[in-house]
Amino acid sequence: MARRNLVIIGAGGQAREVRWIANEIDRATSSYQVLGFVISDLRTICERDSKEAVLGDLDWLREHRASIDALALGIGTPSLRLKLAAELEPDFPPDNWPALVHPAAIFDPRTCTVGHGALLCPGVTATVNVVFGPHSMANCGSTLGHEAHVGRGSVINPGSNIGGGVVIGEGCLVGSGAQVLQYRRVGPRATVGAGAVVTRDVPEGSTVVGIPARPMTKS
């Protein structure tokens, strides 16, 4: 099978990590050739971006879509993942968004579902009947128990532990080292702070922090 020409949306640290993961997959399976990065607005390039690898903006991407057959989101903010996916999918349908699964990610492929555009980083451990929604991301060293469900565009940050039967809604962020106890629900666009322990359902759009996790109060 021919290698696919892959372009990564974003040019910062997360994009560089996605490039590394794609290269690791390519070393194992000869699947992808990373062409470079594209960003929404070339005027926003900063010192943290890999300027030398930026090919152009989203208009450049559309102009060259005949030579591009794979895209990946290199952005760690759930709301931006959802926004960019919605903006680009009319021109680049799901077949153009491969799931990128690092060779060191562990899960049961017979019972788990990995949606298009999903990213499973090294050290991810999932068990059985886990669903990774389209454009979701499970970052390094995160764990997910049986029947966990990660919604579209949601991001599970490094070292987080998602219990069995947990439902993470669309566009959520689970901070580094957080714990979501089994069968709890995290509502759409909610944020679980780093190190928090979720013992109750998290309402839609809210931010919870602490042990046990409680809604964040304004100072």
H or E, element range at 26:
helix 13-29
Q: How far, in Å, CA of 80 to CA of 17, rounded?
A: 17
Contacts 24+ apart (CB under 8 A), 54-58: 54/11, 55/7, 58/87, 58/88
Every domain of the chain and the residues it spans: 4-96, 99-207
Name the stretches of the chain with pLDDT < 70.
1, 218-219
At 84, list the tokens. 């960019």
Give catalytic residues, as residue numbers.
Answer: 146
How far is it, in rounded angstroms, from Cα 68 to Cα 48? 25
Asked if 19 contacts 74 with a C-beta cutoff of 8 angstroms, the reply is yes
- How far is it, in rounded angstroms, from Cα 119 to Cα 126? 13
Question: Which residue do the tokens 């579209």 mark?
Answer: 152
What pLDDT score does 33 carry?
96
CATH class of 4-96: alpha beta
pLDDT at 134: 98
- Residue 212: the pLDDT is 97
Q: What is the pLDDT of residues 196-209, one digit of tens each?
A: 999 999 999 999 99
Alpha-carbon torsion (192, 193, 199, 203), positive or negative: negative
pLDDT at residue number 219: 56
Tokens 């030579």: give the residue. Answer: 67
Domain 99-207 has CATH 2.160.10.10: yes
State the sign of the Cα–Cα–Cα–Cα dihedral 68, 74, 116, 88.
negative
State the Cα–Cα distance between residues 163 and 150, nearest whole angstrom. Answer: 12
Question: What pLDDT, on a 0 to 100 scale, did the predictor assign at position 179?
Answer: 98
